[in-house]
């Protein structure tokens, strides 16, 4: 620690980490609000906030230790020297601010409060084997029949699914706001576009009550339609649903 | 007295090993109650489900009671008649499952097979680069390469016996604990089992022959080539062994060559060459090299930290560098091989694919993403620290901050899950299912883009590392024929790769409305081909650096930025094109890596040296980075082993032979974490012990030599007097 140059590497690293925090906490919710034309900010979820901050700190530490000289510069900021006054002032802020920050974290973590638990979710419940080999009977039909099925499916979709999933299949139906977990936006390419037809067939037919025991709780309000809809109607709804959402189902691939 | 000293010394050194074993046992015992308590309710439910959706094989049906009547140990719970009749029935009934001295057989097999696999990965991976290092040493005439290759092989011979022991234990466990399942496997694969045993002889003979003949087969070129031939044969036997066992493991995931309803073997060829066989073969082959490289790197790091002399420190620093280089070199193509395997899993069974990436195993992939990110960061960090030992490398340290920014931002995207853990309040505030971060970063299009960017950044780190001590370049015309042939060969190779794939994309069988999504891929491949040509042309015109920069920029624009955006489009409209998109992405990135590497080699071939490399001048934290890389790759292998095997859910052989035991449940993440953690501790403890044993002989020999030297010098001195 003999080297005591007047470098501000430690301060730069702290500033960078601070900027990251401000971006995630205050800037990104507003940016996403503007970009997505929402009427409310889109706050960064606490889990992501934690992960990104850990990575920010890690990136700073990696940078500060990429050479012996940098490492010495980084640490030597904390040692007393005859450097500029600003350095001494910042050092004192660090000595007061760091324990205060830790104390604030401990306080906010330990203070009693009521909050619903953060749940680990998975996207796709396991499709039962009985449904794996099913094929949509109308997908192989000629173009006219397919077109007719899609139109019939759209009508059925608007009748049975629209209240929750919305007329555009964007998850904004009239009932959508009444659920703790909003209905899925099918226009999102990460949802129904990633699964095969028969996966949807299972979800519509068995609904929330038919979800498997593993990976619970599912937190699904999807009803089971097996007593109200015939299989053919479900297949048509699926075709109408994809068409309404403007996405295609995952198609089975041939093995290479 | 000497023996007493050895015992004391052994006791002193082995305290860490004992501590490790105690910790491992403690950890294991802490999970044992869970086996019988926490998870059993799930189990019971599973057992009651029986074989409703599965197809039982006729050869196992005779005398076989249903799953719910089967207790561990093969006892029948349905025995209602007299005691004698029950006993007779028990004796007659074939046993489906047994316990391991009262312990859960599934967990026992899990631990033993994973340990066997890890040692096997080391034993199969290390010879690949040991032989290459030996050839490099022989052709270049540098003895230190030969010395290092021998040191690699010394570790190998010590680990081989442990691998074989675990293999034997695994075999006995499988046949003892899962007799019915192993009956099925034997019915299908028995001919290959004999071949396996014979190849094992070949592996053992060539391995020990290769190691013990090292000094004997020195002196003439013919002898050395024969020694190298032995090493190559060792690799062939090892790879053959792995391919055979892979066929058994992949058959369990994607069975082929049998009549599913009866289990009757129709074609052994198809059972072996099942849909997942080749993807797993390629993935494991590369992963073994990566694993071996990082384990060797950690070995060198430990030796470096304990080195007594500068010479020793320099040797192990160099060895650690080579280990890391091999590990990173194999790590770069690994995501591509993994992606291919993943796609084939989807193709073999969409259900299995969904379970893997979006279902019960999706969170294990987030853990995997963290571990892979750590590997890339650790490897880059080691390279950056390594530049401290190169005089002249200061010119390039300014790039570190940009590289750190790129790698960490990419890492952030890489590990962002599609399904974020959210509290109720957060869900209400976001107002929809997905936060934009998870919506745009959580899908494969984004992941593929950033992993390619990480690979490009890592490659850039390596380029500046190798340029570290190189100064002024000479004109390209001075490189002579070698330079021209080198650049031209790389160009031809890249063009063949890019253009042949672009042409083949014109003929893919897709519906017209989907095929239009392939056209941008073809165009991208042609653009990249043109830029590769341009880079070669600029190199010939002494503007190689410009060519390299251009190639980097265009590759990043196409393979990262454009395909990130285009991946989303394809996901929505034509998922079948994703397969072609990812291959295009890989081809473009690979062409950039190959062309840039070759240009760099020939551009700086006769460059003036700014300063030498001072081997051994490395801070201790660089060695801890190497150890971290080893621990991470071991955890990664444990995790991926769990995922690959666990995807079968409650099937021994997917869709053919159901696991009706009470242990046929998917473990929770915490349970998986504890078992994988235990495996990692056991493996690292055992490998440390085995390496220590391997070095025992050397120490004794060194001591002997030193004593002899001392006595000789003393005698000479006495004689002089």
Domain residue extents for chain B: 2-103, 104-273, 275-461+620-666, 472-608
Please report which residue ranges of B62-104 form alpha helices under DSSP H: 83-92
For B394, the token pair is: 């200061």
Distance CA A192, CA A188 (A): 8
Place of tokens 């690292």: B684
Chain segment A109-167, per-residue pLDDT in tens: 899 988 777 777 777 787 887 787 788 899 888 889 999 999 999 999 999 999 999 99
CB pairs under 8 A between A and B: 202
Sequence spans of domains, chain A: 9-110, 129-245
Q: Is A216 on the interface with B (CB under 8 A)?
A: no
Long-range CB contact pairs, B37-44, < 8 A, 24+: B38/B671, B39/B665, B39/B667, B39/B668, B39/B671, B40/B662, B42/A213, B42/A214, B42/B665, B43/B662, B43/B663, B43/B664, B43/B665, B44/B662
Distance CA B39, CA B29 (A): 15
Closest-CA distance, A43 to chain B, in angstroms, reads 7
Q: ipTM, 2 decimals?
A: 0.82
pLDDT at residue B18, as a whole number: 47
pLDDT at residue A253, as a whole number: 66
Of A200, A212, A208, A214, the C-alpha closest to A180 is: A208
Cβ partners under 8 Å of residue B66, min gap 6: B50, B51, B660
Chain segment B624-654, per-residue pLDDT in tens: 999 999 999 999 999 999 999 999 888 999 9
- pLDDT band at residue B5 using 50, 70 and 90 as cut-offs: low
Give the lowest-confidence range in B62-76, B147-161, B221-235. B62-76
Q: What is the mean pLDDT of residues B371-400?
A: 92
Yes or no, beta carbons of A214 and B427 under 8 Å apart: no
pLDDT at residue A255, as a whole number: 54
Closest-CA distance, B98 to chain A, in angstroms, reads 25
Best mean pLDDT range from A27-31, A188-192, B28-32, B155-159: A27-31
- Measured between beta carbons, the chain B residues lying within 8 angstroms of A63 are 400-401, 404
Helix (H) or strand (E) holding B431: none
Yes or no, beta carbons of A44 and B435 under 8 Å apart: yes
Helix (H) or strand (E) holding B182: helix B179-212
Average pLDDT over chain B, rounded to whole?
Answer: 84
Best mean pLDDT range from A90-94, B158-162, B498-502: B498-502
Yes or no, beta carbons of B421 and A45 under 8 Å apart: yes
Q: What is the DSSP-derived secondary structure letter of residue B652? A: E
Distance CA A133, CA B256 (A): 17
Closest-CA distance, A75 to chain B, in angstroms, reads 15
Helix, strand, or coil (residue B589): helix
| Percent of chain B residues past pLDDT 70, beyond the cut | 84
- B373 touches B415 (CB < 8 A): yes
Yes or no, beta carbons of B400 and A63 under 8 Å apart: yes
- B77 touches B71 (CB < 8 A): yes
Burial class of residue A207 in the structure, from the number of CB atoms within 10 Å of its CB (0-12 exposed, 13-18 middle, 19+ buried) = middle
Chain segment B365-378, per-residue pLDDT in tens: 889 999 999 999 99
Chain segment A33-53, per-residue pLDDT in tens: 999 888 889 999 988 999 999
pLDDT at residue B499, as a whole number: 96
Q: If you measure CA to CA, which chain A residue comes closest to B393?
A: A67
pLDDT at B151 over 70: yes
Helix, strand, or coil (residue B262): coil
Closest-CA distance, B210 to chain A, in angstroms, reads 38
pLDDT at B250 over 60: yes
Distance CA A182, CA B405 (A): 35
pLDDT at residue B710, as a whole number: 47
pLDDT at B578 over 90: no
Q: Is A162 on the interface with B (CB under 8 A)?
A: no
Cβ partners under 8 Å of residue B389, min gap 6: B317, B613, B614, B615, B616, B617, B618
Q: What is the mean pLDDT of residues A189-195?
A: 83
Q: What is the mean pLDDT of residues A92-98?
A: 93
pLDDT at residue B480, as a whole number: 82
Place of tokens 């030969």: B146
Of B396, B427, B330, the C-alpha closest to B637 is: B330
| Percent of chain A residues past pLDDT 90, beyond the cut | 53
Q: What is the mean pLDDT of residues B534-540?
A: 94
pLDDT at B240 over 80: yes
For B412, the token pair is: 């952030």
pLDDT at residue B8, as a whole number: 52
Yes or no, beta carbons of A66 and B397 under 8 Å apart: yes
- Domain A129-245 CATH (choose: 3.90.180.10, 3.30.70.20, 3.40.50.11140, 1.10.760.10): 1.10.760.10
Q: What is the mean pLDDT of residues A14-40?
A: 93
Yes or no, beta carbons of A48 and B385 under 8 Å apart: no
Of A67, A124, A130, the CB nearest to B397: A67
- pLDDT band at residue B306 using 50, 70 and 90 as cut-offs: very high
pLDDT at residue B102, as a whole number: 87
Phi, psi torsion values for B263, nearest 5 degrees: 80, 5
Q: What is the DSSP-derived secondary structure letter of residue A254? A: P
Best mean pLDDT range from B210-219, B280-289, B436-445: B280-289
Q: Is A113 on the interface with B (CB under 8 A)?
A: no
């Amino acid at each position: 620690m003999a080297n005591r140059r007047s470098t501000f590497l430690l301060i730069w690293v702290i500033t960078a980490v601070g900027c990251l925090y401000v971006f995630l906490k205050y800037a990104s919710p507003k940016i996403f609000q503007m970009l997505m034309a929402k009427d409310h900010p889109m706050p960064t979820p606490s889990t992501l906030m934690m992960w990104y901050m850990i990575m920010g700190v890690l990136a700073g530490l990696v940078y500060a230790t990429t050479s012996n000289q940098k490492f010495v510069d980084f640490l030597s900021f904390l040692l007393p020297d005859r450097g500029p006054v600003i350095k001494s002032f910042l050092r004192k802020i660090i000595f007061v601010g760091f324990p205060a920050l830790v104390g604030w974290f401990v306080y906010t973590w330990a203070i009693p409060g009521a909050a619903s638990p953060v749940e680990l979710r998975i996207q796709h419940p396991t499709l039962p084997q009985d449904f794996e080999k099913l094929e949509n009977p109308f997908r192989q039909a000629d173009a006219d029949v397919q077109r007719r099925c899609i139109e019939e499916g759209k009508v059925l979709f608007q009748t049975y699914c629209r209240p929750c999933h919305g007329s555009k299949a964007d998850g904004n139906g009239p009932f959508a706001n009444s659920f703790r977990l909003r209905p899925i936006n099918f226009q999102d390419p990460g949802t129904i576009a990633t699964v095969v037809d028969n996966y949807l067939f299972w979800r519509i037919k068995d609904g929330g009550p038919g979800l498997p025991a593993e990976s619970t709780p599912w937190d699904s309000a999807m009803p089971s339609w097996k007593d109200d809809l015939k299989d053919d109607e479900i297949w048509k709804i699926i075709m109408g649903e994809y068409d309404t959402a403007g996405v295609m189902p995952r198609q089975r691939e041939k093995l290479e | 007295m000497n023996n007493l000293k050895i015992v004391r010394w052994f006791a002193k050194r082995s305290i860490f090993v004992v501590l490790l074993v105690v910790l491992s046992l403690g950890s294991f015992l802490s999970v044992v109650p869970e086996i019988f308590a926490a998870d059993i309710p799930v189990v019971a439910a599973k057992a009651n489900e029986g074989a409703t959706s599965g197809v039982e094989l006729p050869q196992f049906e005779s005398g076989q009671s249903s799953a719910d009547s089967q207790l561990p140990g093969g006892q029948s719970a349905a025995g209602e008649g007299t005691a004698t009749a029950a006993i007779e029935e028990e004796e007659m009934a074939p046993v489906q499952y047994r316990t391991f001295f009262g312990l859960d057989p599934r967990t026992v097999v899990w631990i033993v097979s994973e340990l066997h696999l890890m040692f096997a990965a080391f034993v199969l991976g290390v010879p690949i680069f040991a032989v290459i290092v030996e050839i490099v040493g022989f052709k270049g005439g540098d003895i230190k390469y030969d010395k290092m290759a021998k040191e690699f092989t010394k570790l190998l011979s010590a680990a081989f016996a442990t691998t074989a022991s675990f293999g034997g234990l695994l075999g006995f466990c499988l046949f003892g604990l899962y007799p019915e399942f192993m009956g099925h496997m034997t019915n299908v694969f028995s001919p290959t089992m004999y071949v396996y045993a014979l190849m094992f002889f070949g592996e053992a003979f060539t391995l020990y022959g290769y190691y013990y003949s090292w000094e004997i087969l020195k002196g003439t070129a013919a002898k050395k080539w024969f020694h190298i031939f032995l090493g190559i044969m060792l690799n062939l036997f090892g790879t053959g062994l792995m391919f055979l066992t892979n066929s058994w493991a992949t058959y369990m995931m994607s069975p082929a060559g049998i009549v599913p309803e009866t289990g009757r073997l129709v074609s052994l060829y198809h059972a072996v060459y099942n849909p997942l066989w080749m993807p797993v073969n390629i993935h494991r082959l590369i992963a073994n090299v990566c694993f071996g490289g990082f384990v060797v790197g950690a070995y060198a790091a430990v030796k470096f930290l304990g080195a007594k002399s500068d010479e020793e420190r320099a040797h192990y620093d160099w060895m650690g560098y080579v280990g890391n280089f091999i590990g990173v070199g194999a790590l770069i193509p690994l995501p591509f091989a993994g992606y291919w395997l993943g796609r084939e899993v989807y193709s073999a069974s969409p259900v299995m694919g969904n379970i893997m990436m979006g279902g019960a195993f999706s969170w294990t992939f987030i853990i995997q993403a963290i571990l892979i990110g750590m590997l890339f960061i650790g490897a880059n960090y080691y390279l950056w620290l390594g530049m401290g030992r190169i005089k002249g490398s200061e010119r390039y340290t300014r790039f570190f901050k940009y590289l750190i920014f790129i790698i960490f931002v990419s890492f952030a995207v890489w590990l962002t899950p599609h399904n974020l853990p959210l509290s109720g309040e957060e869900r209400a505030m976001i107002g929809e299912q997905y936060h934009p971060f998870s919506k745009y970063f959580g899908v494969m299009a984004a992941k593929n883009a950033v992993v390619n960017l990480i690979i490009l950044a890592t490659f850039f780190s390596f380029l500046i590392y190798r340029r570290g001590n190189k100064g002024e370049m000479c004109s390209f015309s001075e490189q002579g024929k070698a330079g021209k042939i080198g650049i031209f060969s790389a160009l031809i190779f890249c063009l063949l790769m890019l253009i042949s794939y672009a042409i083949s994309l014109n003929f893919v069988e897709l519906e017209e409305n989907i095929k239009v999504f392939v056209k941008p891929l073809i165009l991208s491949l042609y653009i990249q081909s043109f830029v590769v040509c341009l880079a070669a042309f600029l190199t010939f015109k002494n503007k190689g650096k410009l060519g390299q920069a251009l190639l980097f920029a265009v590759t990043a624009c196409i393979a990262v930025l454009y395909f990130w955006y285009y991946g989303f489009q394809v996901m929505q409209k034509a998922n079948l094109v994703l397969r072609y998109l990812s291959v295009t992405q890989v081809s473009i990135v690979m062409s950039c890596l190959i062309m840039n590497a070759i240009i760099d080699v020939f551009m700086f071939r006769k460059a003036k040296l700014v300063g030498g490399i001072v081997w051994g001048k490395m801070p201790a934290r660089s060695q801890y980075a190497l150890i971290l890389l080893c621990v991470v790759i071991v955890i990664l292998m444990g995790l991926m082993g769990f995922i690959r095997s666990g995807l079968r859910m409650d099937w021994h052989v997917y869709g053919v032979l159901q696991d009706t035991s009470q242990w046929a449940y998917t473990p929770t993440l915490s349970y998986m974490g504890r078992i994988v953690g235990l495996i990692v501790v056991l493996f690292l403890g055992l490998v440390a012990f085995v390496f220590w044993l391997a070095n025992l002989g050397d120490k004794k020999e060194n001591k002997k030599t030193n004593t002899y030297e001392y006595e000789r010098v003393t005698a000479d001195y006495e004689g002089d007097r």
